[in-house]
Amino acid sequence: MLFPVRTRDLVVLLTCFLVHLAFRNKRKRLLRLPPGPVRWPIIGNALMVPATYVHKFYKKLSEDLGSKIIYLECLKQPIIVISDFNIARELLEKRSALYSSRPPFTMTNEVIGFNCLLSMMPYGDRWRLHRRILIQNLSEKNIPEIREKVLDFIRKGLLSNVLQNPDNIREHLANTIGGFSLSMTYGTPVQRQRDPLVHFAEEVFNNLLGAGAPSKYMVNVIAPLKYIPEWFPGSGFKKEAKKIRSQLDHLMEEPFRETMGKMDQGTAIPCFVTQALERGDSTDLDHEQYVQCIKEIGVEIFSALFETTFVPLMTFFLVMQKYPEVQRKAQEEVDFVVGYDRLPDFSDIPHLKFISCVVKELFRWNPIVPIGVPHATTEEDVYMGYYIPKGSIVVPNSYAMLQDEQTFPEPEKFMPERFIASDGGLRDDIIDPEFFVTFGFGRRICPGASIARSTIYITIASLLHLFNVSPALDAEGKPVDFQPKFRPSSVTS
């Protein structure tokens, strides 16, 4: 009697499974994908997406299709592009359990073999571990020490260098931000001008950033290319990958080894590496694995801090030349709050309301990351009646959100006043780029965002307190007219 019962149960289970499968397939057929352009067989929309200024292409495509959420395919890979802030918050924050992973970055993660950057890791235990260790060392109790380092590099480095050589702003900024990032991470002494380690680190991360761009390496679009041998025509990207990997290994190992040596001698300057090692491992990793984890996070700190502060500060110098009236108002506020007998301090920041609007507008006018780092869905989903397939690459178009004419009239103009309410306070009825969009969404938001923001604030206040920013003069002594032009990369400058 036992055998027939088991057979019956098996039939019931199989029937339930088939009914569920049929219902699920019917549900998919009834639902529709978000609007999108016509797709070619197999290749989909791969040929229509440009190699540069993708954020502008997606914005126009979204406008042409009349939808803030659109669908494309590239070699059967679903791509969802979001051009609306509210949609992005709903999916990437409120439904973060489904939207917090990352797509495979083939060139970076697989060909180069560097898959330890927090910003590019898939969601999971390893990502949680790295983020937890990073946040522990960026906690409130460490903020005073971090701010002291920031002030030291700005006052003794940036301001002094600008005073001595005002024509080389880019190098001064890179050396200051890179120097502070390395000092905060490794306690490394940095030359106030043209530090070789800062220059090398910037070069390494520019190469790594380029490795993640589909426009530069076709393997990011056609992943099977990673299997071709190095002698095969068109495999030059593999030689590039070896070079970048060698640079990354050097950057990850050498400063760490130097700090370890100073710890043994008792001469190490307190920094992320010393604090993390002294605190010890509270994870399930063995000591060797924990040390490797600290090395990887150290590289992440430099990358994140440099990217999120350098671009807005370079933009600041640009807009001060183009909008002298904004500069005048900002200087008047700094002079009123700070006075003339000292330099700005972090305690002044809450009182610098117009400077706050300038910072917000810097983030809006030229977004640090015009196309946000892509998310990936771990399960299928439905939104507004649209079917979102499992494994979709979800792209938040930050540029489109922050250049939306409905939210920000005349978006091409630099207007800090757009964030000021009628009562003189700050508006709370529009997107605040200082806290939203700029540093990511949901669980993937940048853990060092508060440090980046405060660094930008104090740098701008200090520069405006001491200097006037003006365009170069031509042979007749007249200001040179110029038009800003931004690089077509994932991080603008």
Binding site listing for heme: 446
Cα–Cα distances in angstroms (integers) from residue 156 to residues 195, 200, 346, in the given order: 14, 22, 16
Cα–Cα distances in angstroms (integers) from residue 458 to residues 106, 324, 348, 367, in the given order: 38, 20, 9, 20
Helix (H) or strand (E) holding 308: helix 287-322
- CA of residue 406 relative to chain centroid, distance: 25
The torsion region of residue 385 among left (phi > 0), alpha (psi -120 to 50) and beta comes to left
Cα–Cα distances in angstroms (integers) from residue 138 to residues 141, 146, 272, 418, 448, in the given order: 8, 9, 9, 32, 7
| DSSP 8-state class, residue 268 | P
**In the numeric block, which tokens belong to residue 97?**
């359990």
**Nearest CA among 489, 352, 55 for reference residue 360:** 352
Q: Output the known binding site.
A: 446
Q: Which residues of 270-292 are buried (b: 16+ CB within 10 A; e: fewer)?
A: ebbbbebbeeebeeeeeeeebbe
C-alpha–C-alpha distance, residues 389 and 188, integer Å:
47
**Nearest CA among 423, 451, 445, 419 for reference residue 432:** 419
C-alpha–C-alpha distance, residues 448 and 259, integer Å:
22
- Continuous H helices in 138-286: 143-153, 159-164, 169-186, 196-211, 236-265, 272-279
E strands, 344-389, are: 375-376, 381-383, 386-388
CA dihedral 325, 329, 330, 331 (to 10 degrees): 100
Helix (H) or strand (E) holding 304: helix 287-322
C-alpha–C-alpha distance, residues 262 and 295, integer Å:
16
Residue type (1 letter), 354: F
